[in-house]
Amino acid sequence: MGCFCSYVPEEILVAGNILPVRVLGSHEPQNVTEPYLFGMYCPFCRDVLAQGLKGRYDYLDGITLSQSCLHIRQSFIAWREHVEVPFNYYIYMPNKVQTKAATPYLKTEFEKYKAHVEEVVGKELTDDDLDRGIAALNRNRELMHKVYEYRKGDTPMLTGLEAMYMTVSGMWVDKDEHSAEMEKVLEQLPDRQMIRDTGTRLLVVGSENDDTAFIDMVESVGATVVVDDHCTGTRWFWNSVETGDDRINSIADRYIKRPPCPTKDWEERWRFPHILQLCKDFNVEGAIVIQQKFCDPHECDIMPLRKTFDEANIPSLFLEFDVTVPIGQFKVRVEAFLEMFGVDDLF
């Protein structure tokens, strides 16, 4: 099942023995989306649609959107309209996660989604099935947390690039297989010898980001990405389902309480204290703030977020991403940014 956005309740899919697949882009220039998506929307959502139009996800049996921003919604609709796929489903995920009405409402939306999944697989999902789905996701999340723990020390035991491969592959691979691999990794991590300098410890934060070439470049010029706040990283796996008798309610509550996408982060700001806590826990020295061009949700947060970083004495660098990123130019900017960490104050 192709998942548009990280708010799709994968627990329900796994309960139905369906493989959730996060639909991501390919970072290649393309010219197929113009008739369906106006150029003022983010490059990520256009890249995603391009994959559908080019038939690169032709193995999907269905697609699901869990409502978040307007941009990715259009990729879903255009996919539904112009790419042949047997099933499609739109979950009206609430945007106000801060109201007490949100979980009860989302519970009803997830119940409808469960009925849809039952139709897709042709059988009823029992509590045992749901428990299995919840357990698979929770185990996977817990293991990712354990791996992230190894990034907290003076010498992070894995790079930001490796962490990105880990989280993004978790969005595609069967959860149990992925968890089994992570268990093996966890056995090896304590004895791992890192043959690289850690350099400056960075947080990456912002719009959707699965740009491995970019992270690789950053880590090649004297830095290590020790933690992130991305929907392809911590925002996706950070919290677990707290199981109660009403499984669907518990799942709904998990998605309401997870670290929010900025489009759902109002009236209060829940994101920023969480991000500052990540900085503290992972001993972050600087932040790279990434924004996909035209990404309104993040554009609305970047100014106040950078102010928050300033107030916490965390220097930040802002970079705007397109489908392909100008690695050479960004390298110069990242190097200049990193230079400030090596210089002691004269006064």
From the list 71, 114, 116, 151, which residue makes contact with ligand SF4 (rule: CB under 6 A)? 71
Tokens, residue 184:
């093996």
Q: Is 224 in the site for ligand SF4 (CB under 6 A)?
A: no
Q: Cβ(266)–Cβ(97) under 8 Å?
A: no
| Alpha helices (H) along 191-233 | 212-219
Rounded to an integer, what distance in angstroms lies between the CA atom of residue 129 and that of residue 133? 6
Rounded to an integer, what distance in angstroms lies between the CA atom of residue 290 and that of residue 288? 6
Choice between 37 and 144, CB closer to ligand SF4: 37
Least distance between another protein and beta carbon 56 (Å):
21
Residues 297-336 that bind ligand SF4 (CB under 6 A): 297-298
Nearest to 288 by CA among 234, 226, 220, 342: 226
What is the binding site for another protein (CB under 8 A)? Answer: 34-38, 40-41, 67, 69-71, 73-74, 77-78, 81, 90, 92, 94-96, 99-102, 104-105, 108-109, 262-264, 266-267, 269, 291, 293-294, 296-297, 299-304, 306
Least distance between another protein and beta carbon 263 (Å):
5
From the list 42, 83, 305, 338, which residue makes contact with ligand SF4 (rule: CB under 6 A)? 42
Rounded to an integer, what distance in angstroms lies between the CA atom of residue 209 and that of residue 164? 9
Residue 224's φ and ψ, nearest 5 degrees, are -130, 130
Rounded-to-10 torsion of CA 335, 341, 345, 346: -40
Q: Is 205 in the site for ligand SF4 (CB under 6 A)?
A: no
Q: Which helix (H) or strand (E) holds 148?
A: helix 127-149
Q: Cβ(319)–Cβ(330) under 8 Å?
A: yes
Tokens, residue 290:
């990434």
Q: Which stretch binds ligand SF4 (CB under 6 A): 68-76, 264-272, 306-314, 329-337?
A: 68-76
Choice between 16 and 297, CB closer to ligand SF4: 297
Least distance between ligand SF4 and beta carbon 72 (Å):
4
From the list 1, 69, 97, 334, which residue makes contact with ligand SF4 (rule: CB under 6 A)? 69
Choice between 16 and 260, CB closer to ligand SF4: 260
Choice between 72 and 241, CB closer to ligand SF4: 72
Q: From another protein, ligand SF4, none, which one binds at residue 44 (CB under 5 to 8 Å depending on kind)?
A: ligand SF4
Nearest to 321 by CA among 230, 219, 255, 235: 230
Tokens, residue 166:
């880990």
Rounded to an integer, what distance in angstroms lies between the CA atom of residue 302 and that of residue 299? 5
Choice between 129 and 210, CB closer to ligand SF4: 210
Indicate left, alpha or beta for 63 from its phi (over 0: left) and psi (-120 to 50: alpha): beta
Least distance between ligand SF4 and beta carbon 70 (Å):
8
From the list 10, 11, 208, 285, which residue makes contact with ligand SF4 (rule: CB under 6 A)? 208
Burial (CB count <10 Å: 0-12, 13-18, 19+), residue 88:
buried
Q: Is 8 in the site for ligand SF4 (CB under 6 A)?
A: no
Whether omega before 118 lies within 30 degrees of 0, making that bond cis, reads no
Q: From ligand SF4, another protein, none, which one binds at residue 45 (CB under 5 to 8 Å depending on kind)?
A: ligand SF4
Q: Is 66 in the site for ligand SF4 (CB under 6 A)?
A: no
Q: Which positions touch ligand SF4 (CB under 6 A)?
A: 42, 44-45, 69, 71-72, 207-208, 261, 292, 295, 297-298
